[in-house]
Amino acid sequence: MAEGLKVVEAAFEAGASVESLYVAPEGAGQAPVEALVRRALDAGTRVFDLGPGVMEKVADTVTPQPVCAVVADVRVPLEELARGGRAGDAGGQPGGGRLLLVCAGVRDPGNLGALVRSAAAAGAAGVVCCEGTADPLNPKTVRASAGAVFTLPIAPGGPVAEVMGTMRAEGFRSIGTVARNGVDYAMADLSGDLAVVLGNEASGLSEEVLAELDERVTVPMARGTESLNVAMTATVLCFEVARRRRLP
């Protein structure tokens, strides 16, 4: 379920299969909504006009926007993502390696969506959602990603240890984020094919996962700060990787 004008437009822009578009009475006569309806019809998407109060009952938000859409599942297999082509976009120079984010128990859909949005903006190759992570197709995740779930490859994964094994077999180094006592991210080796493992908002990464990492990294914080939001941590690391790979 994609809710809101911008998110539905992002689905069309990404070439996702938009199966149906629903328009609330409040959207009638609004130029952006009418333009979206025309685009949907041109693409062969079914368009339905809703009765008063229906959108409020089916939407995930308290004050819903006048459009929503049903979009086909856009997730890709883990093996396909891990074996994908080399980086050459905004996130790095050709041959600079690929960046994947591995979510190990990120439970809040809003955090996951924000994380996906940052990964896409930094040019990452994709995101893996391991067992215990929020559904990347949850309406809140889709909204928080600002439609990035339709442009950035996202793969479902099983247990974190198995996912890390797949990453290792495909030549990825794994680094994990820890709140304390890791290598300063500014000093860490972020070269080559890199999998950044992000833990649960409350408990972080388990000891089992930490033991499998090639390196632990920390974002230094001011005294008295307990931790950094997982999506913000992902943003800092993604753009640090992008910054380094832009350098001559």
In order of their start, the domains of the chain are 2-71 (3.30.1330.30), 78-246 (3.40.1280.10)
Cα 197 to Cα 43, 160, 234, distances in angstroms: 38, 9, 9
Least confident of 81-85, 88-92, 199-203, 221-225: 88-92
The two beta strands, 46-49 and 183-184, are unpaired
Q: What percentage of the chain has pLDDT greater than the value 90?
A: 85
Q: Is the pLDDT of residue 232 over 90?
A: yes
Averaged pLDDT for residues 4-31? 95
pLDDT for 62 equals 78
The number of beta carbons lying within 10 Å of the beta carbon of residue 174 is 21
CA 82/CA 100 separation, integer angstroms: 8
**pLDDT tens string 179-230:** 999 999 999 999 999 999 999 999 999 999 999 999 999 999 999 888 899 9
